[in-house]
A and B are shown apart, each in its own frame.
Chain A
Amino acid sequence: MDMETITSIKPLLATVTPLLCILLIILSRRIPNLRELWTIIASLVTFSIVASMVKTLYTGKVIAYKLVEVYPGIDVAFRVDAFGLFFALLSSFLWIVVSFYSIGYMRSLNEHSQTRYYAFFAVAISSALGVAFSSNLFTLYLFYEILTVCTYPLVTHNQDNEARSSGRIYLGYLLGTSVAFFLPAILFTYYFAGTLDFSLHGILNGKASNGMITFLFLLFLFGIGKAAIMPFNGWLPRAMVAPTPVSALLHAVAVVKAGVFCQLRVYFNIFGVELLHNQNLDIFLIYFVSITILLGSLFALKQDDIKAMLAYSTISQLSYIILAAGLYSYHGMLGGVVHIVMHGFGKITLFMCAGSILCGAHIKKISRLGGIGRRMPITMLAFFFGALSVAGIPPFGGFMSKWFLALGSIEAHQWPILVVLLTSTLMNLGYFMPVVFISFFGKDSESVKRDPDIREPSPFIVAPLAFTALVSLAIFFYPYPFIRLAEIFVKSMMGG
């Protein structure tokens, strides 16, 4: 990319720190406290490394680091631009939160194989950072695959039949799509473009025929299965068998966000928005994605399981982000990119609340939540905040991104999208508000009545979720660091 480049080892350090932490975790597997301390320390260190790069990025430079050449012309290389750092900041920050939460959650449920859990968690974060920092499609694919594989033990943590079949579906979808579509797409790209490096305006422009571009576009769209676009969304609800922190971080933040991040990367830096626009693929993309938005919300309405509902909500929300690539306008892109963060905070709050309910009340079904808000006020309040944020109600972070998206769709003259956004928001409220309502104002359900011990679980659980709920509120008022990064990125693309 045509920006000033600084060579720095920081991206590598950020990626490797979690991996080093694995070693420590395994070594100290007999002492749980030490083990968890290592996790927290690693998360803090990682975050600080990532955060330390923000300043450089504000000045409009990018950071690059080349690790090894795997193929003449293709390296495993890191390159931190605003978009990547944006995602990395989110992941590494939330890792801290979730680490605390995990401690509470795992201990209160007395889970088995915790060492393995923490170790793979760290690998997952590392590879998510790798995805964020990768400088070319190849590195991206590499970390993408590692992310897939290393989350498998997390998803199937319970090791029962349900986890097993879910694990199968999880891998089947993710590996299947990546091997069958993503990999050939990369290869075709390489074949036609001669390079895989991300470039601000895409590398495919003029390199391949129109039909080929469309074909490649479809391959990428379906190949990046982690984005859970509609025909390949089946894995996400099934992956909810995982322990809640896993669902929280990975399926609200790291994995699915990595998916949409990859999608956006590809559309922005491989195809280039102009190319998409010229080929009319952007129109196709937004309408295709709209289907997912609406259907996802619709399915979410039907769910009785909290986590399943959240999962469908995620499916729907992810497609908002992809809209960014389709809405050929400044605000549209900005909205999509910012939505990564806004949705991240909101959704992680919701998941942690679900976990908290599970720990405190052992309830998974929405229909049994009657009156629980009176017993667990903090949790349910946080849930309320999170729900509002995700639905895009001011004064919560989610509003911001939706607002930008709406602006973008107006700018791009795509009125139907506005309708879609509005409908979806209504549906969001439609599935979130009943939960909040019955938990605070509904009659006590059978299970709540029966169990007098229902109360807020340990502070390790409650504190993080309260924190993120507050963050999602605060971010509406102080979105500066994120918006700034997103603006840098979008401007560099639009302006260039």
Chain B
Amino acid sequence: MQKRQTRTIPRSAQEGEHKLHNSIVAFLLLFIFWVIFSGHFDTYHLTLGVICSLLVARFSYDLFFANVRVGSHWLVFLRFCAYMPWLTYQIVKANIHVAALALHPNPPIDPQIIRFKTKLKTDISLVTFANSITLTPGTITMDIIEGEFYVHALDRKVMKDLGTGEMEDRVAHIFMGADHTNIKDG
């Protein structure tokens, strides 16, 4: 068995000012979420919302922002929004591809497994990349071992698409501004 790399949720990443900052952001996020779900805007329910959000924020604010500081995240968020249309397009493409394969009388499937290294470092960017791969035509992220991706591709063509590295660049672009300090977990 290969060596397990266990990543913990480092509270140590959250110190002082950042801690407060992160908590407030978490609280706001949760409160917005609450308001959307609640649909009641009277004092009573809003108070409940505040209390609950505070509780959850107190308990798990560090789960939101484990390895990155929140400073540049507004920008990241915007860039992520910009990334979405492209991704949606890719998803639609992927689905049409799958539909075509499924409806094909004799599906021209030629599965491959691809391995490649990635330059992405942070958790969130890795996850975004991996999920994007999964959602895009003909590929599924099977495993990430030490920054190396194992991707299952349905045929050789999509393999080449992935090989261009366009998606990786886009993902890297999103999280470019973010603090890339990957704090080793203690």
Direct A–B contact in complex, judged by CB atoms less than 8 Å apart: no
Q: Which residues of B contact A (CB under 8 A)?
A: none
